[in-house]
Structure 1
């Protein structure tokens, strides 16, 4: 069940082949994003899927001409909610009561706690928090893609406002925060040597005894 071998194989692909990722595997990646961990379970983001070639070409221009966006099989746009309010929490608990058949109102105390925690944050802090949750989902997608042998390239180098306008995200109360190109490498392309901080400098076990 370990994902280590898959993570050793993966790297951020800069040039994609013409091979397309089939719908079943795309759906697996999207389900991984949907099932990903999220603070309080609120999931304050959506994942938008782009595969139309003309639209990918336009978005590539808005990503400073990066070829990954133009060449990929699919582009996943992780878009966070721009307004986090009591309604965000209430939508979650409506889902919770429906999906778990828990008596409606039985978790009002917990709901009030979450609302209070959100109210203590500034608007900017709430938006940053929502973006952080989207990044957690991105990490889950990257791992699932590696397990499936699908190449990825997560990217933050794009014009956020231009993406929002082109995709009409703002009218849904969303803003693009990170994107991920999906596809396959050329058949004869090997994974490069993975450069990472040595374990002895990366991990430290901590205890009260020092």
Structure 2
């Protein structure tokens, strides 16, 4: 009987130990499952955050591209408008300039005294007053031979061969020989000059006040403005 009791106790302990081990195993399984679920949730959360961050970055890049394209479109439109405006103004100026030239040509042919006449400053005051009395009112002055002496009727005083040579060199340097938009009247005050200017088609000579007025009038009729 005693042996039977001992066997029963041993069997009970074995069963108890078996149930305890089974319980521990179940608890361990639950812990592992919970840990995996937590890891999975954490991974999903990190993945979602990473995807959202990339999407936000792409959105920012796209907005920046659209902004840049819009800015370039505005700049291009402004430049196109500016170029169009400049082109229009240039065309308008060219048309007006051409029209003014044609009007001036016709006007000078009708009344040559309106042709611009250029005199040397402070050298021909008496001659200038005479021309104004004869209603040559479009008179201007130049200080030296230069850009102001390349059109219209230019009166030049030369009483020596050296002064004549100065005008000759100027016409050669500026390529003004035989031009039809400018005429030169050389006022010699009666001096005889030995100069090649006498062979130029757009140069004439005047010895005194009377011949000066006649030469200017003839030159005004012969000049083709611009």
Same fold (TM over 0.5): no
TM (norm. structure 2) is 0.21
TM (norm. structure 1) is 0.22
Tell which structure's C-alpha radius of gyration is larger.
2
Bigger proportion of residues as helix: 2
Q: Which of 1 and 2 has higher RCO (CA within 8 Å, sep 6+)?
A: 1
